[in-house]
Amino acid sequence: MNRLPALLLALVLGACATTVKKSNLEALKPTVERFHQAVRWKDFQSAARIIVPERRKDFQKARLKLNDDKDLSVTDYEIEDVKLSDDGLRATVQSRIQWMRLPSASERTAIVTSEFIYRNGTWLLESQDDGPFEGELPAP
């Protein structure tokens, strides 16, 4: 008889974990879209707010140093794949991003892997490989 309450508790906790994971995934896509749109429209201040706080300042400094408000053009992006961790607190997002940075007139395309972390009720970009910000947001 003592097993019944334990079984019910396990079922409720399992359901809660599934609900949290699903709600986290539903909140992730708009965050990824906002980041891509912000950099596409050169709104680097808004993009920086989506980055983990400990990397925001360096991201903003790099935009100024590289003159990205004038020289960087993100021409297209598409989210291709999203993988959520078992606990629902980390996500790996693969996006195809096209951009060019002056003085080059050649458009570049890369499959960019972005790592997002769910922190304090919000998805934040923690790291990113390749793309126009290659080397600026290295994996921890």
Per-residue pLDDT tens over the stretch 60-100: 999 999 999 999 999 999 999 999 999 999 999 999 999 99
CATH architecture of the domain 3-133 equals Roll (3.10)
**Which class for 36: exposed (0-12), middle (13-18), buried (19 or more C-beta within 10 A)?**
buried
Q: What's CA 98's distance to the chain center, in Å?
A: 17
Handedness of CA 48, 50, 56, 62 (dihedral sign): negative
Question: CA 61 to CA 77: how far, in whole Å?
Answer: 23
Per-residue pLDDT tens over the stretch 39-65: 999 999 999 999 999 999 999 999 999
**pTM given for the model:** 0.81
The residue assigned the tokens 């400094």 is 61
Domains of the chain, by residue range, sit at 3-133
